[in-house]
A and B are shown apart, each in its own frame.
Chain A
Amino acid sequence: MIIELGHHALVLAFLVALLQGTVPLVGAARRDRALMELGRSAALVQLLALAGAFAALTHAYVTSDFSVLNVAENSHSMKPMLYKVSGVWGNHEGSMLLWVLVLAAFGLAVALRGHGLPAVLKARVLAIQGLLGAGFLGFILLTSNPFVRLDPVPADGRDLNPLLQDPGLAFHPPMLYLGYVGFSVAFSFSVAALIEGRVDPAWARWVRPWTLAAWSALTAGIALGSWWAYYELGWGGWWYWDPVENASFMPWLAGTALLHSAIVVEKRDALKSWTILLAIVAFGFSLMGTFLVRSGVLTSVHAFAVDPDRGLYILVLLAVTIGGALALFAFRAPAMAPGSLFRPISREGGLVANNLLLATATATVCVGTLYPLFLDAATGEKVSVGPPFFHSTFVPVMLPLVLLAGIGPLLAWKRADLEGVFTRLRVAALVAGAVALLTWLLQHGHHPGPVIGLALAAWLAASTLIEWTGRVGLFRRRGTAARIIGLPRSAHGMTLAHLGLAVFICGAVGDSFWRREVVVDATPGAVAELAGYRVVLEDIRSGSGPNYEAEVVRLRVERDGETIGELRPERRFYPVQGTRTTEAAIRSRPLGDLYAAVGEGRTPQHRTLRLWHAPLVPWIWAGALMMVTGGLVSLSDRRLRVGAPRRTVGPVTQPAGGD
């Protein structure tokens, strides 16, 4: 019964989304207030209906109602409660339901918080959100209905893939979707602005917080996914340049560019068309990510089921949404009023360079990700593009970006004094030089990679700190505390995010160049040595969890003859799906991780031990966490608060209905 209600709620949401997508548009064209106001109530009803549908599906999972096909295929009565709930979005149908739920929530947030927004713009934004929702709800109802019943009812379910039964992964999809779908708001605002033919700083003040929120969530989602891959897959890597990873990385890169260009629109009323284009592209990459992951054109743990109809539907949806938006852009953008002027050497110029570099980087990742698909479609030849490709294309584009990120924040708006900036950055250059020299001398073998990487990270960290201390007046005795408080939060946010980038680079460099590995076939008592550690295999025990059997290998870790800890890698067997998983054991310290995974050995007494020493790896996620925190701190800025009323009423703001 609840399931049928859920299904009906889904159909209702679809119909309401259609209304929301059309009526306010007509109202906006006719300046009819009543029609425009419909968008608000529609957004509310749509969200309530979808929340109901989602609750119904969650109820089916929690109570293990195996008469629902989706539950029977992806759940099991013995599964821990956390994974019963996360199982709702751990499959294709449920994850699409989560997607539209998040979309509707964003739509309602615009509806509720948009007091200061011109009524026409708001109506159009809500309508675009409604159309997007209708597109995806149609997709769910036609190809991926989670409420399909199963007859006869099986005694128990087929369980969730054990690899996905993990706390890190339970929250990876919702965060990622918050990010993906968050860009839909920037997209809707852009399309609405194109219809209107006008962009002003007030528009950017709206778009920027939404982009910031989406970007923070996407950063967190990607970091969670990478962390999961690191400790769960047992391969010791944190980023494989796998197409599915790239699918989430491309919207991130485009979104990062958007975040920076929106600042120029807001502060200087320039780069307007470019920012609109970026918003369309960022959401386009989000849709493409969904398409790549959901259509089954890629082989991956994310490709739940291969169904050509689904791929086709999303492809058409992608073509209509992005093609339509780009056509509108080509049509309307040239008519936009040009922005204010600035010199190439200025804050604006720096942000433009940032955008050009990020756009180029996105393009290289896009080529590397799609090339194998095109080649397969065109010639039937099967190739893969792996890490070496991205190391020799993406990384060279990123190096100047990091260099620039150190300089940019010190540049003045409109026209900057480069000489003065370099004088202030002398210390940063010295620090970078010292780090380069130290790295060169201390590392084994003179590889230039770590020298360049760590020097750049040091440069970025030092110049970011110089900029921040300059603004708060540190070392100038009085008023520092007051200035720290008085400084806009977005300035602190930027400092934190840029420092996070520097920290991340250290982690990536350390792991890429200094990782050491040994593989040994061991029996109890055997010893493996790695990077100054002695690892002794103590014994092998058996254990069990709620829905698995486990074999626990106890390893004693020694350094300089003293025992400093224990590692317990496991091998688990999940009887329901008949699958085994490897649970790596990790001893994490600020300077690096000791990572152990275990596999079957030559004889029943032997185990294959694979040990890594991965220097600086924790810095990768520490850096990502700093970036997310930076984004959130920025978001809490009063001037940026979502829906904050505008303080100054300048000539750019116009009364509702004015055009």
Chain B
Amino acid sequence: MKAKHRRLTFVGVGLLLLAGAAGLVLVALEDTVVFFFAPSDLQAQERAPEGRVRIGGLIEQGSLERGGTPIRFRITDLRATVQVSYRGLLPDLIREGQGVVASGLLVNGMLEADEVLAKHDETYMPKEVADALRKAGTWKGAP
């Protein structure tokens, strides 16, 4: 087998592999990408999004029912709110009035979350939450 043929074989196999992988990637992106919404984005939607969503904002003051299963709280961007219920342990850093991102399925306008992420430390706000608050015009931090 000549060097040229050999190289062509490998390039061909490589291209086939890449094409296969590209196909997998496209299908998977279609099916598995999870969109992020702020509560007022959700309100603006005519139909509730299907499949998994992530919702971020602040935990509304006085809405957090700690402990018990499920745990309930509301996420707000200070314009609209979304009720969340969550079975599991809340992150240690979660507090009312602070940033949170919850993901799960929307059922009748309520988010049944299976994952709740809080900010990592005192100075940190999830980027999506900061952007969502900016969009809602209720951001108070640095521009």
A contact residues vs B (CB 8 Å cutoff):
161, 163, 234, 299-301, 303, 338, 341-344, 352-353, 356-357, 359-360, 363-364, 367-368, 371, 381-386, 388-389, 392-393, 396-397, 519-521, 571, 577-582, 597-603, 606, 608, 610
Please indicate which of the listed interface residues B32, B34, B88 has the most CB atoms of chain A within 10 Å of its own CB.
B32
In this complex, which of B20, B36, B67 has the most chain A Cβ atoms within 10 angstroms of its Cβ?
A: B67
Whether, in the assembled complex, B96 has its beta carbon less than 8 Å from a beta carbon of chain A, the answer is no
Query: CB distance B25 to A393 under 8 Å?
Result: yes
Let me know if B67 and A608 touch, CB within 8 A: yes
Set B6, B24, B54, B89: member contacting A599, Cβ < 8 A: B89
Would you call B89 and A582 a contact (CB within 8 A)? Answer: yes
Judge whether A602 and B127 touch: CB under 8 Å. no
Q: In the complex, A74 Cα to B27 Cα: how many Å?
A: 44
Q: A582-B92, A599-B90 are in contact. Are A364 and B24 (CB under 8 A)?
A: yes
Find out whether the CB atom of A396 lies under 8 angstroms from the CB atom of B24: yes
CB proximity of B104 to chain A, nearest CB, Å: 12
**Residues of A contacting B89 with CB < 8 Å?**
234, 519, 582, 597-599, 608, 610
Q: How far is the CA of A343 from the CA of B93 in the complex (A)?
A: 59
CB pair A371 B1 closer than 8 Å: no
Residue of A nearest to B101 (CB): A299
Contact assessment for B9 and A344 in the assembled complex, using a CB-CB cutoff below 8 Å: yes
- Evaluate whether A389 and B120 lie within 8 angstroms (CB atoms) in the complex, with A299-B127, A343-B1, A579-B93 already known: no
Q: A356-B17, A383-B36, A392-B32 are in contact. Are A521 and B120 (CB under 8 A)?
A: no
B1 touches A341 (CB 8 A): yes
B128/A299 in contact, CB under 8 A: yes
How close is B137's CB to chain A, nearest CB, in angstroms?
A: 16
Known: A344-B9, A601-B68, A602-B68. A392 touches B24 (CB 8 A): yes
Q: How far is the CB of A293 from the nearest CB of chain B, in Å?
A: 14
Contacting pair A301 B120 (CB below 8 A): yes
Which residues of chain B in 10-59 are interfacial with respect to chain A, using CB atoms and an 8 Å cutoff? 10, 13-14, 17-18, 20-21, 24-25, 27-29, 31-36, 54
B79 at the interface (CB under 8 A from A): no
Q: What are the residues of chain B within 8 A of A610 when measuring CB–CB?
A: 88-89
Do B88 and A383 touch across chains, with their CB atoms under 8 A apart?
no
Nearest neighbor of B129 in chain A, beta-carbon distance: A299
Closest 3 CB pairs of A and B: A602-B67, A382-B36, A580-B92
The binding surface of chain A is classed by DSSP as mixed
The count of A-to-B residue pairs whose CB atoms sit within 8 angstroms is 129
Neighbouring B residues of A388 by C-beta, 8 Å = 28, 31-32
| 8 Å CB contact of B28 from A363, A392, A578, A598 | A392
What is the bound-complex CA distance between A382 and B21, given in angstroms? 24
Which B residue's beta carbon lies closest to that of A382?
B36
Report the Cα distance A580→B120, complex, angstroms.
Answer: 11
Closest B residue to A340 by CB, please name it: B3
Q: Spell out B's residues near A (CB within 8 Å).
A: 1-3, 6, 9-10, 13-14, 17-18, 20-21, 24-25, 27-29, 31-36, 54, 66-69, 87-90, 92-93, 103, 120-122, 124, 126-128, 131
Are A389 and B28 in touch, CB under 8 angstroms? yes
Interchain CA distance A291-B1 in the complex, whole Å: 44
- For residue A411, give the distance in angstroms from its CB to the closest CB of chain B: 16
Residue pairs across A and B with Cβ atoms less than 8 A apart, 17 shown, are A300-B120, A301-B120, A344-B1, A352-B10, A363-B18, A363-B21, A382-B36, A382-B131, A383-B34, A384-B103, A385-B34, A393-B25, A393-B28, A580-B92, A582-B89, A597-B89, A602-B67
- Measured in the bound complex, the distance between the Cα atoms of B28 and A367 in whole Å is 11
Q: Is the CB of B17 within 8 A of A357?
A: yes
Nearest CB of A to B2, in Å = 8
Q: Which A residues are CB-close (under 8 A) to B28?
A: 388-389, 392-393
Q: Is there an interface contact between A521 and B68, defined as CB atoms closer than 8 Å?
A: yes
Cα of A50 to Cα of B10 in the assembled complex, Å: 45
- Residues in B neighbouring A581, C-beta threshold 8 A: 92
Chain A residues whose CB sits within 8 angstroms of the CB of B29 once the complex forms = 371, 385, 389
Selected from B1, B13, B93, the residue in CB contact (under 8 A) with A580 is B93
A379 and B128 CA atoms in complex are apart in Å by: 14
Chain B residues whose CB sits within 8 angstroms of the CB of A381 once the complex forms: 35
* Chain B contacts for A598, CB-based, 8 A: 89
Return the chain A residue nearest B19 by Cβ: A360
A597 to B122, CA, bound (A): 23
A364 engages B93 (CB within 8 Å): no
Residue of A nearest to B127 (CB): A299
Q: How far is the CB of A612 from the nearest CB of chain B, in Å? A: 11
Tell which of A301, A338, A356, A520 has the most Cβ of chain B within 10 Å: A356
B18 cross-chain contacts in A, Cβ below 8 A: 360, 363
On chain A, the residues within 8 Å of B21 by CB distance are 360, 363-364, 393, 397
Among the interface residues B24, B28, B122, B124, which one has the most CB atoms of the partner chain A within 10 A? B28
**Selected contact of A389 from candidates B2, B17, B33, B88, CB within 8 Å:** B33
Contact B24 A579 (CB under 8 A): no
Collect the chain A residues with CB atoms within 8 Å of residue B67's CB: 521, 599-603, 606, 608
A599 to B93, CA, bound (A): 11
Counting chain B CB atoms within 10 Å of each CB, the highest count among A299, A300, A342, A367 belongs to: A299
Give the Cβ gap from B21 to chain A, nearest Cβ, in Å.
5
Q: How far is the CA of A343 from the CA of B54 in the complex (A)?
A: 51
B1 touches A356 (CB 8 A): no
B113 to chain A, nearest CB (A): 13
- Give the shortest distance, in Å, between B38 (CB) and chain A (any CB): 9
A392 touching B87 in the complex, CB below 8 Å, given contacts A299-B128, A384-B33, A521-B67: no
Complex alpha-carbon distance, A367 and B90, angstroms: 31
Interface contact B3-A360, CB-CB below 8 Å = no
- A579 contacts across to B, CB distance below 8 A: 92-93, 121-122
Residue from B67, B89, B120, B124 whose CB has the most chain A CB atoms within 10 Å: B89
In the complex, the answer to whether A577 meets B1 with C-beta atoms within 8 Å is no
CA distance A360 to B13 in the complex (A): 11
Determine whether the beta carbon of B1 is less than 8 Å from that of A600. no
Q: What is the CA–CA distance of A299 and B127 in the complex, to the nearest angstrom?
A: 6
Select which of A303, A338, A396, A603 is within 8 A of B3 by beta carbon. Answer: A338
Point out the residues of chain A lying under 8 angstroms from B120, CB to CB.
Answer: 161, 163, 300-301
What A residues does B54 contact at CB under 8 A?
A: 382, 384
Q: In the complex, which residues of chain B have a beta carbon less than 8 angstroms from the beta carbon of A301?
A: 120
- State whether A389 touches B32 (Cβ < 8 A): yes
B34 A602 Cβ-Cβ under 8 A: no
Q: In the bound complex, how far is the Cα of B120 from the Cα of A303, in angstroms?
A: 10
Specify which chain B residues have a CB less than 8 angstroms from the CB of A367 in the assembled complex. 25
A140 to chain B, nearest CB (A): 22
- Report the nearest A residue to B3, measured CB to CB: A338
Residues of B within 8 A of A344 (CB): 1, 6, 9
**Across the two chains, which residue of chain A brings its CB closest to B10?**
A352
